[in-house]
Every structure is written in structure tokens, then in C-alpha cells.
Chain A
Amino acid sequence: MTYAVPRVALAIARGRALARALARALDDLDLALDHARDHARALARARPSTSSTPATSTSSTPATSTSPAPSPAPAPATSPATSPTISIIISGVVSALSRRRRHRERMGGRHPVDLRGGVVAVALRVLPAGPRARYAEELLDELGMLGRWAQLRYAAGFAARSWELRRSLRDAEPAPAREP
């Protein structure tokens, strides 16, 4: 009897940890599926434009035209085993660094890393593809009204709770979330 209480408490704690891990795994899976859908959509858009040119030129040579031209798949940013959340953070950092490089090339001088841009990129990558553009515009407008450090604080807060926003948007999916 004396050992029963700690055992029950331990079992409850393990159950909670398991539930948390499962919820995290489901979130990661959901996000990975979302990104896979994004890639599939991008491929579908790219395929007609790449296949239209060879289709007309190779119509006289059926031997070569029967095999479909392999469309170049986008190179994954990280290994497939990497968690989607980590890959999002990496892609955000990479996009911030590439923005900085582009800016430096344009301006011909040194420029600090646009940390705010990286944070915003990470936050937006977490959101579903549909309403992403809407929240990007909304967030950029709101950031424009704040000072430099307030911008960073605001963007960090938005990024920290972007999963919550994602869940809210997924729950309210039938509602019209996208607009021109």
C-alpha cells in the first residue's frame, strides 16, 4: 500500500510525458505533411512548364519521349531524419543569412544579421500554407509600427506561439482564412 502511491504518481507522470511526446510527434507529422503538400504543389506548377518544351521538340522521336523527363525535386534542406521543427528553424536561419548576404552584395558593405527577419520566417513557416501570406502581411504591418527592439520582442513572441496559432487555424479550417 505504501508503495502504491509513488507507483501511481510515477505512472501518471509517465503517461503525461507520453501524451506530450505523442502530441509533439503529431504536430511534427502534421507540419511535415503540410510542407510535403507545399512541395507537391510547387512541383505540379513546375512540371507543365518543364515538360511542355520537350514534348513539342521530341514528338518525332518516340523512343526518347516515352520516358518522362525526371523533374528535379527540390533538394531537402536537411536530412530526412531531421525533425520538421528543427528543419524550419534551420531554414529560417538560412534565409536570414542569405538575405544578409544579398543585402551586403547590393550595398557593398557590412550589415548586421536581420534577426527579426529570421524570427518572422521561422514563425511563418510553422503556419499552414493557406493563411501564411495573410499573416505575413499582418505581422509585417504590425512590426512596422514598433521600434527596433520592440520588433524583435514582438516577432519572438509571435514565433513562440506560432504553434498555437497553427492549431487554432487548423481547428477553424472551414472558416474562410485566405483572401486576395
Chain B
Amino acid sequence: MYGLEIGEAAELPSGTVHPILARLEGCGWLQSRWEEVDPKREGRPRRRYYQLTPDGAEFARTALARVHTPRTLVNRLIARPTGGAI
């Protein structure tokens, strides 16, 4: 996916996606590459495609699972040992 496409899919305003992508790329969770076309023949600049690395995909899965489990905090509170000194 390219920047504009990601922004539209995430429903984020312009300019917010690229800093996030740059940070994720810096973490090594995302990799980007140029589209393999000739800009002169296509009549437009090359497109930059972003893809999650295996590490990034794993972290994304974990993060999504955490987001979709709203009772995580409650479960953690329940699991905390009760009674006695801290």
C-alpha cells in the first residue's frame, strides 16, 4: 500500500501518516520500496509502497488483539494477588 491509500484506509488526515510510517520504518517494523516503473513512460512520479516486516506483522497482530480485548485491564486487576502487603 502507498501513503495516500494507507491514510484513506486508516481515515487519518494528510500529513499524519508519513511521520508514523517513518517511525515504524525506523523500528524495523515496516519496509518501503519504490514502484518499479519508468516515471517518464508513465508520466507520473514513482509510487512508494509500504509493507510490514515479519516482526512488524507480529507486533501488529499482538497490538490488534490487545485493542480488541477491552477486558484486559480488568483481567489484570482480577489476576493481581489480593490481601497482604504490596
Give A residues with C-beta under 8 Å from B.
134-135, 137-138, 140-142, 144-146, 153-162, 164-165, 167-169, 171-175, 177, 179
Q: Contact check, A162 vs B15: say whether CB atoms are below 8 A apart.
A: yes
Q: Which of B17-65 contact A (CB under 8 A)?
A: 18-20, 22-23, 25-28, 34, 44-48
Q: Contact check, A165 vs B26: say whether CB atoms are below 8 A apart.
A: no
Q: Contact check, B25 vs A175: say whether CB atoms are below 8 A apart.
A: yes
Contacts of A156 in B (CB 8 A): 14
Q: Dominant SS at the B interface?
A: mixed
Q: Contact check, A144 vs B44: say whether CB atoms are below 8 A apart.
A: yes
Q: Contact check, A179 vs B23: say whether CB atoms are below 8 A apart.
A: no
Q: Of the candidates B14, B22, B34, B45, which one forms a contact with A158 in the assembled complex, judged by CB atoms under 8 Å apart?
A: B14
Count of A-B contacts judged by CB separation below 8 Å: 74
Given A165-B19, A169-B22, A175-B28: A140 in contact with B14 (beta carbons within 8 A): no
Query: 4 more A-B contacts (CB under 8 A) besides A159-B15, A175-B25, A175-B28?
Result: A153-B14, A161-B19, A164-B19, A169-B22
Q: Contact check, A142 vs B23: say whether CB atoms are below 8 A apart.
A: no
A and B contact pairs by CB, cutoff 8 A, 7 listed:
A137-B48, A141-B2, A144-B44, A164-B16, A172-B25, A177-B22, A177-B25
Contacts of A174 in B (CB 8 A): 26
Q: Contact check, A172 vs B27: say whether CB atoms are below 8 A apart.
A: yes
B13 at the interface (CB under 8 A from A): yes
Contacts of A144 in B (CB 8 A): 44-45
Q: How many Å from the CB of A173 to the closest CB on chain B?
A: 8
